[in-house]
Each structure stands twice: as C-alpha cells, then as structure tokens.
Structure 1
Amino acid sequence: MEHAIYLVTLVGTALVVAAAFSSLIAFRFGAPLLLLFLCIGLATGTDGLGIEFDNARLAYFAGSLALAVILFDSGFGTPLNALRQAAGPALSLATVGVILTTGLFGAAAYYMLDLTWLESFLLGAAVASTDAAAVFFLLRAGEINLRERVRATLEVESGTNDPIAIFLTITLVEIIAAHANPEANVLATSLVLGFLISMGLGAVIGVLGGLAIVRLVERLNLDHGLLPIFVLTLSLMVFAAAGAIGGSGFLAVYLAGLVSGNSDIRAVTILRRFQDGMSWLAQIIMFLILGLFATPSQFPAILVPAILLGLFLIFVARPIAVWLCLVPFRLPRPEVAFVSWVGLRGAVSILLAITPLLGGLENGRLIFNVAFIIVLVSLVVQGWTVG
C-alpha cells in the first residue's frame, strides 16, 4: 500500500513536471501549449506507457473543479471597462452563437456519423463553446497585440459561453437517456425554462458570492500567505453553492471573480500572482487527465469524418455563427474574421463529451472520441496560426 502511494505520487508529479517543461518547447516553436499537455496525457495513457484511467466520473469531477479555478481567474483578471466595451458582442456570441454553432454542426454531424438527430445536436453542444484556458493562454501568454475591444470580446466570450454549452449538453443527455419525446416543442420548452432558471440562479449567487468574498477579505485580518488560499476556497464554495440549488456554478464562479477582481480588494497583487499559478496548475491537471482518459486506438475508425467535422466547425459553422451574431455591432471585417478564427476548442469540449458516458448513452464513447479529435484539429489548425 505504501509503495503504491509513492508510485502514484511519483507518476503524477512527473507528468506535471513534464507538462511544465513542455512550455519551453511551446514558446520556442510556437506550438499550442495546451495541445502538448493533451499529448503528454495521451502518451502516458492506455495506448502509451500503459497507465489505465477509465473513471469517467472522476475525470469529470476533476475537470469541473479545474475549470472553476480557471473561470474564477478569468473573471478576476477581466477589467470592468473591457467588459463594458465588449458586453454586447461577447454575450451575443456566448448565447446565440453557441446555439447557432450547435445547430449548424449538429446538422453536419447527422449526415457524417451514425447518430440520431438528438445525438448529433448533443455532439454539437459539446463542441459549441470556445475554451477559456486556450483563448486566455494564446492572447495573454502569447503577447498578441490586439485592439482592446477585440481582445475583450474574445476573453469575455470564452469566459461566459461555457454555462449555456454545459446546460445544453446535460439537458440533451437527460432527454436521450430518458427516451423523452423528441418533438421540438417539448425540447424547446425544457431548454428555455431550465436555461433561464439555471442562468438566473448562477448570476445571483455569483454576484452575491463575489461581494461576500470582498467583504470577508476586508473584515478578516488573515496572513498574506493564507489569504490567497482563503479566496480560492471561497470561489469554489460559490461554484458548489450555485450548482447545489440548480444554478450554473460556472457562471457563478466567473461572476464572483469579476466582482471581486474589480473591487478594491486587499492584497490584490498577491491574489493575482497566486491565482495565475493555480490557473496554470488547473490547466495542466485538466488536460493531462482528459488525455489519460482517451483511448487513441479507437480513433482510426472515425478519424476521417471527425477531422472533416473539425474543419467544418472551423471554416463553416463558427464563421457563420460569428458573422450573424456580430452584424448588429458593425465590427470591421478583419476583426470579425479574427474573432471567428480564435474560436479554439479545448478541455471544456472534451469534458462535456464525457457526459454522454456518465448518462450511459449507447453512442457515448463515439461522441467522446469525435469530440476529442475535433479538439486536436482545432488546437493544431487554429492554435498554431493565431499569432
């Protein structure tokens, strides 16, 4: 037993160290760093070094916590003036854009894969949102110079579009698993009412939670070494509390970060540095776990249609959705094109693709494998060319 503890610790820390060192390769050759994290996970998994990890619930749990940490840091680092500049375009992309992408991609998936209509839209919902970790890394760590409105639009979109994609995915999984009547009116009613309740509760808990974090930090005279841990723990409490009452925990934790990050909170420099490090660690853990969970030997059977669907998402579905969403805001064409191109898919899409497995769907593994390949295509094609 003691030997096993040491062995697991050794392997886990070695993977994190390898992922950290891979950042040197990424910065040297311009490779998408998150792609390297995924590849390290794949290389050490069942078809690589032979580490078996097939616990879907654990992978989803760990990925969700890591995503909550990333979203809190994303909100904490988003200035309020940037949010004001980009609120219209970003929220349009995060809501209508996700729905349009789900519909367009789902229609293509139905004709290219052996899936029902609902399963095709489920796959579309899983890959419909852009990935906060991938977008923030490329725009911030990559030091890409952009107009503030464009940068803010991309960052706010990636931070706020996860909740609706998560809600769509989970709702579709439940409908398919329960063999519910798939008529449009039943589905639409369920989605609209559930979405409003989930987003409303998430928004309220997030704002109240952010205000509570600021008040507690000011009232409690905590040591500077303990303060960042206290704030991180409170943010995860906001995430859990919103989810426990049926709200969107991911929206709540993002808004909590936005509220607390734009207040005069004490020791803000220390908090930003700590959260930046924790966000990096969360990204590494999330991508490594999801890479370990995948089984590359199953990819060849669906490789061609999955790659074609990935290219369809990049060159057709995402551009059409972005163009329709941004028409009212009259952004210059080059900016619309760039926003369309920075629609990177990442760990969120893979995480959502686990939900069909959790729901016991017949084609759950097929949906997961296709989503995983689409993420790889997105990181290679878009991630390598954004700069």
Structure 2
Amino acid sequence: MTFDVHQLDSFLLVGSLVTLVAILAVRLSATVGLPSLLFYLLMGVLLGESVLGINFEDAQLAHALGFGALALILAEGGLTTSWREMRPSIRLGVSLATVGVAVSVAVVAVGAHFLLGLPWELAILLGAVCSPTDAAAVFSVLRVVPLPKRLTGALEAESGLNDAPTVVLVSVISTGAAAESGLLHVAGLIVFELAVGALIGVLAGVVGAWIMRRVALPSSGLYPLSVLCLAFVAYGGASALHASGFAAVYVAALLLGNQDLPHRVATRSFAEGLASLAQIGLFVMLGLLLSPDRITLEIVSLGIVTGLILTFVARPLSVLVSSVAQPMPWRELSFISWAGLRGAVPIVLTTIPLAEGVDGADKLFDIVFVMVVVYTLLTGPTLPLVARVLRVARRSEPRGLDVEAAPLERVAADLLQVTLAPSSRMHGVEVGELRLPAGASVSLVIRQGKMLVPERRTVLRHGDDLLVVTPRRSREATEERLRQVSSGGRLAQWLGDGNPQRD
C-alpha cells in the first residue's frame, strides 16, 4: 500500500476539520448535557462507508491505535491525579479493579448465556469487555461533579487500573489460551502482569523523577514531552516483558505527576491536550468501524439488555463485594455503583476478538457499541442528580491554585508562579497574612500586566500572579500553606487545613 503526498494533504485537511468540529462539539455537549464521546462516535459513523464513504475495516490497525490512545489517556490521568487525594481510597479502587471486575465478568457472562442465548465463549467475552470503567470518561466527568475526595479517588484508581486485567482476560479468551490453560493459569497470568507492570511503572517513575529534577533542558517545552516519554518508556518496557503496559504507564505517570518537577502545570496542560486529541481520534475511529446496516432490532435489544444486566445487577454486586476491602456508607457505595462510567474501553477491547477472527466478533462489537451509547445516555447526564439524591454531593469548593515551578539550582530553591483563581479566598488577604514558611517570600505581584514589588500590607486580588521564592526543603510546606489560605482565607490558621468543607 502506497501513500503519496496528495493523500497526505487530503488526510491533513479532513483530519484537521474533524478535530476542529470535535472540539466545538465539546461546547455543544456541555450545553445539551450529553457526554462528548457520543458526538465523536456519531461523527465517525457519519464519516463511515455507509454515509460519507470512508471505508475503514482494519480491526488490527484499530486495535493498535486504540491501545496507543488508551495508554495516552491513562498517562494523562496519572499525571493529573493527586496521590494524596487517592491514597485514602486506594484499597477500594484496587479491589474494584480486580475483584470487582471478576464479579462483573461472571454475572454478565451468566446473564448473556442464559438470557440472551449467546454461546459461552461470546458470553464471557461480552462480560470481560463490558466490565472495565473508562478512564477518559471518569477523569473528565468526575472532576466537574462536586464529590468527596474519597469517592473520586476510588473511582479514578479503579478506572486507571482495571484495563490491565481485562486486556489479559480478553486476549487469552480470544486466542483460545484460556481453554487450553485453565482458570488458575489465567488468574496467575493476570496477577503476574499487574504486579510486574506496576513494578516497572514505579521504577520508571522514580528514576524518571530523579533525572528530571537534575537535568537542565534548554527549553521549557521539552519538559512535558520528556515526562510523557518517560511514562511511555514504562509502557513499552512492560509490554516487552509481557507484563501490563497499561498498569506500568498509569503508575509511572502517577508518580511523575506527584513529584516536584519543573513546569508541572505546563506538563499537565500538555498531557490534557494530547489526551483530548487521543479521545477524539479514538471515538471517531471506533465510529468508522461500525456498519449501521448491522444495527438491527435484535442487536439493539441485546445491547439494551446487556446494559441493564451490567447497570442494575453486575455493577452493584461487584461494588458490594469489593467494599469488603474498604467499607463505606451505603450511599457512597450506591453512587460508586452508578458512576461506573463506560466509554471507549469496552469498544476498543472488542477489537481484540475482531483482530483474532473469533466467530461472532462482529456481533459482539455491535452489541457493545449499542450498550455503550445507551449506558452513557443513562448514567453520564444523571450523575449530578444521583449525587444530590444520595446526598453525597458537596458544594463546589474553591479550586486549588495554579502553581508553576521552576528550579533555582544555584541557591537550592524553587520559583513558584501562583495564579489566584476567581473563586480563591486569598482575594483580600494581605501578603503579610500569608505567613509562609521561613525563607519563603512573595517577590513579585503581577496585576493586569503590571509588576508590583509587594509589601506586607499589599492586598492580593483575583487574577493576580505571584512569584514566590522558597527554599527547596520548604517547597511542599509553602505550596500547602498557599492552598490553605486559598481555601480558608485569612482564617486558615484556625481552620487547620484551610477548608471548612470536610469530606
């Protein structure tokens, strides 16, 4: 197959137009209250052979590109997730990603076999591909729903880790290795891949952070690129050792994102942009794979019934069993059950049996596609309402400060650029009332493009940019104090953590 310059020009033109339309669809989805992934899938269907004529049926290419996009989305999730907020819920998150997945697979498989009449191989595959939650959906939706940190931490940990065991399960079933090796071998393989993948992720994260803190790159734009490359080194290294690349990339990115690295805000913004591009390309590609002619009444019925089994039986039961590892109040467990968002991951996983030529793989793909669309329409827009009904929603708290850091190597210090968000309670606070740790000071205030050398009585305003110099040993304490004042205002010294709204 050749690819000439004219084809490249056409590809760039169509690709750019599709991306721009997809970006505008984000605004439209927010206006009408529907998840943007539905618009992306619809765009792919419209571009496909049945409508505008683009023919795309390469399941192996879709499999490879889908896994690459998922790895990038997981890397962004790790880089932008706070380990301090996730840590209290990590036991429940890991339990949901392992035990919960096993329970969900079993329940959906039994239901699909006895209620839908699918053969056991296809029924188990359906349970496996439907069980993992979607990292892109969770990371994007839950961050705008005001929830206690223990809930978002558990859901983010689950979505970041549950891809790994399901990929192994779907692969061994699709290749026939599960029938030959037995259940114990499959379980051992899953444990091995998760453990080794996580270990490689830890190694890449620790070594990568050590390197990034000591290297002086000639351009600030190279730091975000280097951090993402380190995360993908973990993915590639784990895959080369036949371990879980998904577990490795997420753990590595989580460690890198929670280290005191230069230009952290720029790194996260860069990763968010690339992850958004990956989501757009992924969903549009999956829409292209669909043939609308195959979506019959039978397929729609099977997809709806599968979604009902997953939503009202498999997911609640898997959450209940998983909560043994870390019990929570029933209201919070009920919300976690409802918030098991599905998205691209189930559809991407169906490309594995498609690429392996499993009998009935086309039917499986169509069922899962319908299930994802119906399930997303049911759960995504209703999450805020369900959170209020279950009384787990909390009032939106002041958003944290945007903090950008740059090293001052000669004096073993860091320069922090701090931006006061519109809702920050630091508005009206005097510089002297910040009470920063010893050695830290506000050296400059930038207000409406003008630079001010602050005094102790200088009053801070929304939109101000502060340049704060802090000794490296006091960096964490300085950031913590700034966030306390941003959340609690000048009363932060009496409120302790600066946040009157407790989880």
**TM-score normalised by the shorter chain: which range applies?**
over 0.9
Secondary structure of the equivalent of 1:329? Answer: coil
Distance in 2, matches of 1:2 and 1:262, equals 43
Provide the rounded CA distance (Å) in 2 between the counterparts of 1:314 and 1:48. 32
Q: How does 1:365-380 map to 2 (within 5 A)?
A: 365-380=362-377
Matches within 5 A, 1:82-231: 82-140=85-143, 143-175=144-176, 180-181=179-180, 186-222=181-217, 223-231=219-227
> 1:26 & 1:351 partners in 2: Cα distance?
22
Which stretch shifts more, 89-98 or 109-118? 109-118
- Please point out which of 291, 298, 303 is paired with 2:294: 298
Residue of structure 2 equivalent to 1:28:
31
Give the structure-1-normalised TM-score.
0.94
Find out whether 1:352 has 2:353 as its counterpart: no
**2-side partners of 1:179 and 1:272: how far apart?**
39
Larger proportion of strand = 2
Aligned length: 379
- Deviations 1:20-56 (CA, angstroms, capped at 9, x unpaired): 0001111111111112111111121122212111111
Name which of structure 1's ranges 85-94 and 319-328 shifts more when overlaid on structure 2. 319-328
Whole-Å Cα distance in 1 between the matches of residues 216 and 53 of structure 2? 49
| 1:274 pairs with one of 270, 275, 284 | 270
State the SS of the aligned residue for 2:323.
helix
Does structure 2 retain, via aligned residues, the 8 Å contact 1:112–1:305?
Answer: no
2: CA distance, partners of 1:187 / 1:297 = 38
Range moving further from structure 2, 349-358 or 212-221: 212-221
Measured in 2, the distance between the counterparts of 1:122 and 1:287 equals 21
Aligned amino acid, residue 50 of structure 2: D
| Structure 1 unaligned blocks of 5 or more | none
Measured after TM superposition, the shift of residue 215 of structure 1 is 2.2
Q: Tell me if the contact between 1:68 and 1:253 (Cα under 8 Å) persists in the aligned partners.
A: yes
Instruction: Tell which deviates more after alignment, 14-23 or 319-328.
Output: 319-328
Q: Which runs of 5+ in 2 are unaligned?
A: 385-503
Retained in 2: the 8 A contact 1:311–1:377?
no
How far off is 1:179 after superposition?
A: 8.9
Work out the percentage of aligned pairs sharing the same amino acid: 36
Whether contact under 8 Å (2:178, 2:186) holds in the other structure is no
- Counterpart of 1:317 (choices 314, 327, 330) is 314
User: Which stretch of structure 1 is more off in the superposition, 89-98 or 326-335?
Assistant: 326-335
* Structure 1 residue 54 corresponds to structure 2 residue 57: yes
Q: Is the 8 A contact 2:164 2:244 kept in 1?
A: yes
Q: Secondary structure at the match of 1:368?
A: helix
- Report the AA paired with residue 336 of structure 1: L
Secondary structure at 1:154 match in 2:
helix
Q: Which has the higher Rg, Structure 1 or Structure 2?
A: 2
* Larger relative contact order (CA 8 Å, sep ≥ 6): 1
- What one-letter code is carried by the residue in structure 2 that aligns with 1:173? S
The answer as to whether partners of 2:213 and 2:261 remain within 8 angstroms in 1 is: yes
Q: How far does the alpha carbon of each residue in 1:198-240 deviate from its partner, in whole angstroms, 9 at most, with x for none?
A: 1121011111111122122223221111221222222222111
Distance 2:261 2:347 in 1: 35
> Quick one: which of 355, 359, 364 aligns to 1:362?
359
Instruction: Give the corresponding residue for 2:327.
Output: 330
Q: Say which structure is richer in helix.
A: 1
Return 193-202 or 341-350, whichever deviates more.
193-202
